[in-house]
Structures are given as structure tokens and as C-alpha cells.
Amino acid sequence: MARRFFVGGNWKMNGDQALVETLTTGLNSLDEGLLASRDLVVAPPFPYLTAVRTALNKHIGVAAQNLHAKASGAFTGEVSVGMLKDLDIKWAVIGHSERRSLFAEADETVAEKVGAALAGGIEAIACIGETLAEREADKTFEVLFRQMKHIAQAVSSEAAWDHVVVAYEPVWAIGTGKVATPEQAEEVHVALRKWLSEHVSAAVAAKVRIIYGGSVNAKNCGDLAKIADIDGFLVGGASLKVDDFKTICSAPRA
């Protein structure tokens, strides 16, 4: 099964209105054929969601960087699935390692958010990843499979997996300049697909996109894109550099 290539740009807490204009103008210059052949999604900070959605080519998706699992209530500073839908935002990054580490989001919390997103009609970019200490302790797969187990419990059916992109982001490679070698990334992606086959179904394992994140840039994206089990990227810092991000968005498949 040919899986549609996916590139996401996570702007994190960066930017202003001038950067929004620069990035959206640059992305709008991407070839229409490229936009038709793969999924491109950017995740700006909450205040700029509407501006980005309005300015961008309709074939480029816009994601929230987080959401709350509850539909409404006394949750100061939070944003619901319904609010995102109201703004025509169709994607959400969920469980990013910075949310897990800096804001103490547990596996259960991430899973609850994934379930809420899917139930409300939002496509989920569900993030998983191990720390350097966990990798050095040979616990990479133990950690990743535990995170996947919780996410899988929140996906209600095989059909619902059509609306989930799994983003493998080794925490030790995010914003550090370090990047997993193609061999390291491939090993993890193959193992994750095998886990899905054994614990969900072979059909889901074949169709779910598993993307890589962690210091992806214009120089290394080509080698990573050639790996069959890497279905795209979730890009941090390089997504704020319009020419670099356009190069990543255009990375050729093998």
C-alpha cells in the first residue's frame, strides 16, 4: 500500500505577523502538483491560526499545537476541539515531547486528547519518543510501545486510524542538532509498524503513516525520505526558514 507522504512544520512558540506573512507567501509558491501529491501541514502558535488558515493555499493544512480533551468548561488557557473546528483547523499535534516533559502530560492524557480529537473530527499527529537516558538504558522500544499502547486504546476503530499520523521524535534529537541516523530511524519505524501489525491489525500497520522528527533539515531530509518506512517528517526549527522548509516539503521519495 502506497502511503501518502506527510510533512508537518511545528512553529512552536515562535513568530509574529511578519513571519506569518513570509512563511505563508513562501509556501503558497510551492508547485501545485507537489501539493496534490502529499500532505503538508503547519502548526503556528494559537494567536495566528486564523491568519495562517486564511492566507495559505487550501491544499496546505493547518494544525493546532495542542488541544484540551474536554468540550468546554473552566479550563483557563485551554482550547477545545470544537473551537478548532470552528476556525476550520483540521489537524492537531498531540503529545509532543515538550508537552510531555515541560507540562507533565502523561501517556493517559495524550491518549485522551487523541480520542477527543478523532471524536470531534480533528486529524491527530500523535507524537512518541524516547529520551537519551532511555535510549542509553536500552529502553527505546519499551517506552515507544508503552506510548503506542495508550494511543491505540484511544483509537476507536480501524477506520479511525485513517485520521492518525504517528510522529516518532527521539527526544534527544529535538532541537539539539543531533539526528537519528537513517539506520536508527529505520529500525524504529520498522519496529513500530510491526507493533501495529501485532497489536492492532496488519491492515492498520500497512496504512498508518509513521513520520520522523528530530533536527530534520534541508540537508538530511533527502536521505531520510528514501527510507520506505519513513512516511514524512515533523519539522521544528527548519520550518521557520521558508527556503529550507520548502526543500524539505519537496524531498523526493525513493
Beta bridge partners of 61: 41
Looking at 96, 98, 112, 134, which residue is catalytic? 96
Separation of alpha carbons 3 and 233, rounded Å: 13
Q: Is 134 a catalytic residue?
A: no
Q: Is 32 a catalytic residue?
A: no
Closest CA to 1 of 160, 228, 206, 253: 206
Q: Are 10 and 239 in contact (CB under 8 A)?
A: yes
Q: Are 167 and 192 in contact (CB under 8 A)?
A: no
Beta bridge partners of 204: none
Separation of alpha carbons 218 and 249, rounded Å: 9
Question: For residues 99-108, b (16+ Cβ closer than 10 Å) or e, as one string?
Answer: bbeeeebebe
Looking at 130, 134, 169, 186, which residue is catalytic? 169
**Catalytic amino acids?**
96, 169
